[in-house]
Amino acid sequence: MSANMDMITAQGLGHRYRTAEGSEVQALQNVNLRVPRGQFVVIIGRNGSGKSTLAKHLNALLQPTEGRVLVNGIDTKDIERVWEVRQTAGMVFQNPDNQIVATTVEEDVAFGPENLGIPPADIRSRVRQSLLSVGMAEYAKHAPHLLSGGQKQRVAIAGILAMKPKCIILDEPTAMLDPSGREEVLQTVKKLNREGITVIHITHHMDEAVEADRVIVMDDGKVILDGSPREVFRHVDKLKAVGLNVPQITELAQQLRNAGVEIADDILTIDEMVASLCPSS
């Protein structure tokens, strides 16, 4: 047991890609992070800012070219423990279709634990539990490719859950979904977090970030803001300078403030807007 009680630690993490043409891209630079167990972290940043590269370090799909990453106290450079890292921190990707590996939902969810060498009886109960957990139990015998995008992502999440992870990393899992699919996935992830799983959720939907414990903003391979949604979204100008929006309500509050309306500078929700504009209501 490690003395390090954080779920994830990145110390001076850097990543340089070498391209086929022989040039180098510094995708991450001196990233320092500590994510305590149970936290719900959202990572935002424009295209190419290094979010996916960071995510891949958190389950040892990439190795640091500088610094180091610990997952539940395990150094991701420890080759002998790579599978332990991947089981601890499972990853869900953007395109649900690329994550389907079997012809029925239950076989798909069983794939991960089968690869871990779990006994069959145990696998059946894990598959059942995981599908219940994401609200997809009644689809166990269905063909995954016929499901909606939101359902496919929930099956992908169940496949990770069946490996009993402590942490789930989601790299823009809602980017290809319609609003109702997005909502399904977001509610599922929030529920798992309430049940104790650490969540790292990469998204370009600012409204999803409002619901996190913590928002990390990346630009050009670096962490440029890191705090609660309220702290981070107060930096409207800085966010805009790196090509990001703020939640719609925050934007509206800023415009009202610029127009001379007396309103708090850290509005994140409609309720807060109403309370700030009509203190007596």
* Residue numbers at the binding site for Mg ion (CB under 5 A): 51-52
**Residue closer to Mg ion, measured from CB, 33 or 44:** 44
Q: Which does 169 bind (CB under 5 to 8 A by kind): ligand ADP, Mg ion, none?
A: none
Cβ 168 vs Cβ 126: under 8 Å: no
Q: Which is nearer to Mg ion, 52 or 151 (CB)?
A: 52
DSSP H helical ranges for 9-163: 51-57, 82-88, 105-115, 120-133, 149-161
For strands 74-75 and 89-92, give the pairing: unpaired
Of 52 and 88, CB closest to ligand ADP: 52
Site membership for ligand ADP, residue 23 (CB under 6 A): no
Q: 26 or 148, CB closer to ligand ADP?
A: 26
- Measure CA 50 to chain center: 14
Give 51 or 152: the residue with its C-beta nearer to ligand ADP: 51
For residue 193, the minimal CB distance to Mg ion (Å) is 21
If the CB atoms of residues 50 and 149 are measured against ligand ADP, the closer one turns out to be 50
Picked from Mg ion, ligand ADP, none, the partner binding residue 281 (CB below 5 to 8 A depending on kind) is none
Interaction partner, residue 45 (Mg ion, ligand ADP, none; CB < 5-8 Å by kind)? ligand ADP
Residues from 31 through 70 that contact ligand ADP (CB under 6 A): 45, 47-53
Kindly state the smallest distance separating residue 208's Cβ from ligand ADP, in Å. 16
Q: For ligand ADP, how many residues bind (rule: CB under 6 A)?
A: 12
Listing DSSP states for 28-52 in one string gives: EEEEEEEEETT-EEEEE--TTSSHH
The yes or no reply on residue 98 touching ligand ADP (CB under 6 A) is no
From the CB of 71, what's the least distance to ligand ADP, in Å?
Answer: 18
C-alpha–C-alpha distance, residues 254 and 236, integer Å: 8
Distance CA 60, CA 89 (A): 9
268: its two tokens: 């994140």
Element (H, E) at 224: strand 222-227
Q: Quote the least distance from Cβ 262 to ligand ADP, whole Å.
A: 38
Which of helix, strand or coil describes residue 141? coil
The amino acid sitting at 223 is: V
Nearer to ligand ADP, 85 or 218 (CB): 218
Q: Which stretch binds ligand ADP (CB under 6 A): 19-27, 123-131, 161-169, 242-250?
A: 19-27
Does the footprint of ligand ADP cover residue 27 (CB under 6 A)?
Answer: yes
Q: What would the two tokens of residue 129 be? A: 């539990």
**Nearest CA-CA partner of 111 in 37, 51, 163, 39:** 163
- DSSP bridge partners of 17: 25
- Contact letters for ligand ADP, residues 219-238 (x by CB under 6 A): --------------------
Strands 66-71, 6-18: pairing kind: antiparallel
Measure the CA–CA gap between 280 and 204, rounded to whole angstroms.
35
Residues in touch with ligand ADP (CB under 6 A): 17, 19, 25, 27, 45, 47-53
